[in-house]
């Protein structure tokens, strides 16, 4: 049901000489202005978020390598190994209908200061195109070195796979693995390494599903994204 307001008629009935009427009118105008600003601001924020996400994606998989709209060609998957079991968006990069890579927007839930949101790009051959940090709350000067502009540590994932290093070596060095930790900060890199490893495992187990156009029957946890 729509409700129409006759502004002109309303103004005719309002005695604008009364302070209460003036205050009420200014209130209505104020609400309208705020609503317009909020709507415009929300759209601008969403556009900026999409642009930031796209820039992060093409920093992992260059735009020249795919010809589809990678931000809309998505799936939503649920897997206990990713994001603590929460739904994860997977972006698919394809060229002429052939798979190039999938980019998981997943979360390491066990950072030192909470969740670490990251993109993990896996090429069709199972090798990592790379990893990027989207958001975290790790300690400045210590855990924040997972950021690409703070150190080159995150670049060390490019080209790696479950067989390089061996799956058993997908740990930080302190735990007997192949990946460096930071001086004074082991929890943060451990969380990232663990989540990247689990992402590779999910890719290995579900690769065929991830590149299918439609979710196969009997796989209700794999849903087309919007």
* Chain segment 134-183, per-residue pLDDT in tens: 999 999 999 999 999 999 999 999 999 999 999 999 999 999 999 999 98
User: Model-level pTM?
Assistant: 0.76
- Percent of all residues in the chain with a pLDDT value above 90, rounded to a whole number: 66
Please, which residues have CB within 8 angstroms of residue 61's CB and are 6 or more apart in sequence? Answer: 70, 93, 100, 101, 103, 121, 123, 129
**pLDDT class of 34 with cuts at 50, 70, 90:** low
pLDDT beyond 90 at 219: no
Pick the closest to residue 172 from 156, 188, 190 (CA basis): 190
pLDDT for 51: 78
Give bridge partners of residue 93 from the DSSP assignment.
Answer: 101
218 falls in which pLDDT band (50, 70, 90)? Answer: very low
């Amino acid at each position: 049901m729509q409700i129409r307001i006759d502004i002109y008629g309303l103004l005719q009935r309002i005695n604008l000489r009364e302070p209460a009427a003036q205050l009420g009118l200014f209130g209505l105008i104020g609400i309208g202005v705020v609503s317009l600003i909020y709507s415009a601001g929300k759209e601008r924020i969403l556009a900026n978020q999409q642009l930031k996400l796209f820039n992060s994606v093409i920093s992992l998989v260059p735009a020249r390598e795919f010809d589809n709209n990678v931000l809309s060609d998505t799936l939503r998957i649920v897997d206990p190994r990713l994001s603590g079991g929460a739904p994860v968006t997977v972006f698919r990069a394809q060229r002429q209908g052939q798979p190039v890579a999938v980019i998981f927007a997943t979360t390491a839930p066990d950072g030192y200061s909470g969740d670490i949101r990251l993109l993990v790009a896996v090429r069709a051959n199972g090798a990592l195109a790379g990893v990027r940090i989207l958001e975290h709350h790790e300690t400045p000067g210590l855990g924040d070195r997972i950021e690409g502009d703070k150190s080159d540590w995150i670049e060390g994932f490019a080209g790696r796979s479950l067989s390089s290093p061996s799956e058993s070596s997908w740990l930080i060095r302190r735990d007997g693995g192949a990946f460096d930790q930071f001086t004074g900060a082991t929890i943060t890199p451990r969380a990232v390494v663990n989540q990247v490893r689990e992402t590779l495992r999910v890719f290995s187990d579900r690769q065929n599903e991830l590149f299918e156009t439609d979710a196969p029957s009997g796989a209700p946890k794999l849903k087309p994204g919007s």
